[in-house]
Chain A
């Protein structure tokens, strides 16, 4: 008896560019959304609106790229919205109080940005250490820090609003409002973070380790991977992304309050999931996350441009899209079909 064909065959030549349904699905959804948007109001695809859409998606997008790492490695970070708020608050307080000694120029803003980076990385590291060394579930740890940060910003603002000094605001303003080669600065930051994130996740050992840990932590441990360090690093990356998003967010409104960044964590997680990353870990897609962030922003934008559905239903629309996206991504309809038969 000879070995049958399917067992004896050598693995076929490897194709480098596989069609990835999980990445194509969200892209198709975004295109569909654009067509719908254009049909409802041609202004949707005007240059001004597209740039506006990209700029607005930058905050959630940057945070969501950090979240892609956390989720791919099997974690979750619920604290990002509150973290952004408290970082924004501390930045504003620090810059305002530096006005007297340092003036209202670029150094003061650099001080604020530096502080933001330190706070973001530190907060991420804290989340990471508590989940890994402390062996507390990420959901619990970040639920806790979410509450702590939210209440801290309310306390700093004394229940009101922290406003950035008017002169600094003028100096800082270009970081959000100015353009560079036709695209606003936030879009560039988003693009750079996305590319760096993609390279890190797909082309480095670190990214591979994230996927391995999210897929099966025990296997990762037996494969000589320092699981705790890699997991902590994902939270540090998340913190760094929050800090970058905050740096470009503060000049937009020039203020922070207890309502800053509310529900950003859910939008970020939603962008990640819509993009095809698996919530329980082991598989992450940065490109998908970028598209996910764009889809979420586009929904709100389309509702703003048309009167068919009330803008107040923005959250409902996003919810429907999230559920539909995950259902479609499962890509396994055979069971469904068989059940029908």
Chain B
């Protein structure tokens, strides 16, 4: 535990800061400070209070008690993002970009350059281009935000912060939606900013990044400060253990391979979907966990959304239990026992301004209709069961889903698709933006489902997750499957080679073998 908090050299410090929402305390007397020229990582499970602390540090929330010191002087930060004027810039996890503006308009939003009272578009465009170049990203400054992939939007946010000459930069999970290369470019920028003397608060669930970037690490758990330590003194494993407060020896459950003669449940041949010009073929066996690895944008989501009827399928054949099938829409797939769990839980998975129960039963509402009317008791029974089975934690039943932590939202979403009693479960990014403890729970649930005879497809950009969880791995690149790995072949280097296009094997031969 560090007792150097609020040292003379700290730019921004929180002393004994507490915060309650109504009667619910979320932060208990936490000390935190960040110095010029350091990266201070803030880690903790979902619901540990990281976001609240971040909001207090940036003035978006006022502490219930405690003091904030900016350059050593106690002061209340102005609300409503006005603290940007004090040099405190926040990059939120939920991107805050106006979809209809162009990239350069977004970067200069609120502090447009002007000449003779008119907008100086040319200067803004040039400057935007310069900043984007600094970040090593190729984004057209005239492109509309809505046309960009999520990763590029994130880079625009970062460019925006850099252009603002931040003294204190708070980043909430900036790499959650970035690929490896994009993350690397971001880390370079962070290091450059650190060298320039910017104080950086870095919130992340990816402990290897924390280990790599941070000078100091502060661990929060259940709203309490567990420790602030020098990053050099800790392994990623030790940080993880401090976060959950228990041994994390078995993040991944033991693998129970499916029987060799297990029947093929889902067989896809020559599938063409999305923007891809290539065919995709694969088999999924009973009791198998099949991983789809690859870089972001490699076409995994489009392919599997087409299988379940969410996206149009331009060519190809799907056999379900050996019977040729084409699901006209997702409802047909769900009723046949195939469910798809989206990676975009806030945009496509859950109704954030609605309670837990209506969300849980929405996919299978027809199961709760009796004589034309909804049966609330049966809905509530389903909710009770899911709360127990998936350990969904909510303050009480009146909260809206949007108020739950990411981990609890994810467990609710899993509960929602499991309501359909599926035989095939397609999970897209099962643990995006959730904490280690919940990750472990989800991995164990997935393994248990497979052990009980369900078949699971896991799409994931997290290599460790694919390696730790899947029996067999397909690697996709540019809309086609470039490799298939089994058993001991499943290793990081091997997956990366296929994903990066350095290696390719004849998947189709092996499929028929």
Instruction: Name the segment of A133-141, A200-208, A264-272, A297-305 touching the other chain.
Output: A200-208
In this complex, what residue of B is CB-closest to A10? Answer: B387
Distance of A224 Cα from B340 Cα, bound (Å): 10
Are A223 and B362 in contact (CB-based, < 8 A)?
A: yes
Q: Which of B25, B342, B365, B380 has the most CB of A within 10 A?
A: B365
**Residues in A1-23 with C-beta less than 8 Å from chain B:** 1, 3-4, 6-12, 14, 18
A208-235 to B contact mask, C-beta < 8 Å, 1/0:
1101100110111111111000000000
Chain B residues with CB below 8 A from A7, complex form: 47, 222, 393
CB distance from B88 to the nearest CB of A (A): 19
Are A1 and B349 in contact (CB-based, < 8 A)?
A: no
Chain A residues with CB below 8 A from B353, complex form: 215, 282-283
Tell me if B115 counts as interface (CB < 8 A to partner A): no
A282-B351 contact, Cβ under 8 Å, with A11-B387, A204-B369, A205-B365:
yes
Distance of A208 Cα from B340 Cα, bound (Å): 21
Are A4 and B397 in contact (CB-based, < 8 A)?
A: no
Are B372 and A216 in contact (CB-based, < 8 A)?
A: no
Distance of A336 Cα from B236 Cα, bound (Å): 44
Are B329 and A224 in contact (CB-based, < 8 A)?
A: yes
Are B331 and A226 in contact (CB-based, < 8 A)?
A: yes
A274-300 to B contact mask, C-beta < 8 Å, 1/0:
000000001100000000000000000
A203-B374 contact, Cβ under 8 Å, with A11-B397, A215-B354:
yes
Distance of A12 Cα from B397 Cα, bound (Å): 7
A219-B330 contact, Cβ under 8 Å, with A12-B396, A205-B369, A205-B374:
no
Distance of A303 Cα from B500 Cα, bound (Å): 76
CB distance from A252 to the nearest CB of B (A): 34
**Residues in A40-73 with C-beta less than 8 Å from chain B:** none
Tell me if A330 counts as interface (CB < 8 A to partner B): no
Are A216 and B47 in contact (CB-based, < 8 A)?
A: no
Chain B residues with CB below 8 A from A208, complex form: 358, 362, 365, 374
In this complex, what residue of B is CB-closest to A282? Answer: B353
Are A218 and B393 in contact (CB-based, < 8 A)?
A: no
Are A6 and B369 in contact (CB-based, < 8 A)?
A: no
Chain B, interface residues (CB within 8 Å), range:
35 or more
Are B365 and A218 in contact (CB-based, < 8 A)?
A: no
Are A222 and B351 in contact (CB-based, < 8 A)?
A: no
Distance of A283 Cα from B221 Cα, bound (Å): 36
Are B398 and A18 in contact (CB-based, < 8 A)?
A: yes
Tell me if B111 counts as interface (CB < 8 A to partner A): no
CB distance from B30 to the nearest CB of A (A): 14
In this complex, what residue of B is CB-closest to A4? Answer: B222
CB distance from B418 to the nearest CB of A (A): 14
Q: Pick the contact of A11: B62, B347, B394 (CB < 8 A).
A: B394
Chain B residues with CB below 8 A from A212, complex form: 351, 354, 358, 362
CB distance from B413 to the nearest CB of A (A): 10
**Residues in A214-264 with C-beta less than 8 Å from chain B:** 215-216, 218-226
Tell me if B310 counts as interface (CB < 8 A to partner A): yes
Q: Pick the contact of B365: A8, A209, A219 (CB < 8 A).
A: A209
Tell me if B59 counts as interface (CB < 8 A to partner A): no
CB distance from A71 to the nearest CB of B (A): 15
Are A204 and B350 in contact (CB-based, < 8 A)?
A: no
CB distance from A222 to the nearest CB of B (A): 5
Distance of A224 Cα from B350 Cα, bound (Å): 13
Q: Pick the contact of A222: B223, B330, B372 (CB < 8 A).
A: B330
Are B354 and A14 in contact (CB-based, < 8 A)?
A: no
CB distance from B429 to the nearest CB of A (A): 14
Tell me if B510 counts as interface (CB < 8 A to partner A): no
Are A219 and B348 in contact (CB-based, < 8 A)?
A: yes
A221-B310 contact, Cβ under 8 Å, with A7-B222, A215-B354, A226-B329:
yes
Tell me if B79 counts as interface (CB < 8 A to partner A): yes
A219-B369 contact, Cβ under 8 Å, with A7-B393, A11-B397, A14-B380:
no
Are A224 and B397 in contact (CB-based, < 8 A)?
A: no
A314-339 to B contact mask, C-beta < 8 Å, 1/0:
00000000000000000000000010
Are A224 and B331 in contact (CB-based, < 8 A)?
A: yes
Chain A residues with CB below 8 A from B270, complex form: none
Tell me if B275 counts as interface (CB < 8 A to partner A): no
A204-B374 contact, Cβ under 8 Å, with A6-B25, A7-B393, A216-B347:
yes
In this complex, what residue of B is CB-closest to A14? Answer: B397
Are A282 and B366 in contact (CB-based, < 8 A)?
A: no
Distance of A203 Cα from B344 Cα, bound (Å): 29
A204-B330 contact, Cβ under 8 Å, with A4-B222, A218-B347, A222-B342:
no
A218-B348 contact, Cβ under 8 Å, with A6-B24, A208-B362:
yes
Chain B residues with CB below 8 A from A215, complex form: 351, 353-354
In this complex, what residue of A is CB-closest to B347? Answer: A218
Are B395 and A282 in contact (CB-based, < 8 A)?
A: no
CB distance from A57 to the nearest CB of B (A): 28
Distance of A212 Cα from B350 Cα, bound (Å): 9
Distance of A226 Cα from B365 Cα, bound (Å): 13
Chain A residues with CB below 8 A from B424, complex form: none
CB distance from A245 to the nearest CB of B (A): 25
Are B395 and A6 in contact (CB-based, < 8 A)?
A: yes
CB distance from A341 to the nearest CB of B (A): 10
Are A222 and B310 in contact (CB-based, < 8 A)?
A: yes
Tell me if B137 counts as interface (CB < 8 A to partner A): no
B211-238 to A contact mask, C-beta < 8 Å, 1/0:
0000000000111101000000000000
Q: Would you give 20 A-B contacts (Cβ < 8 Å), ordered by A? A: A1-B226, A1-B245, A4-B222, A9-B396, A11-B396, A14-B380, A18-B398, A199-B373, A205-B366, A205-B368, A216-B347, A216-B352, A218-B344, A219-B349, A219-B350, A221-B330, A221-B348, A223-B416, A282-B351, A282-B354
Give me 9 other A-B pairs in contact (C-beta within 8 A), A7-B393, A14-B397, A204-B369 excluded: A203-B374, A205-B366, A205-B368, A205-B374, A208-B358, A212-B354, A219-B348, A219-B351, A222-B348
Q: What 10 pairs between A and B have smallest CB-CB spacing?
A: A224-B331, A1-B245, A4-B222, A223-B362, A218-B348, A215-B351, A205-B365, A223-B363, A222-B348, A224-B330
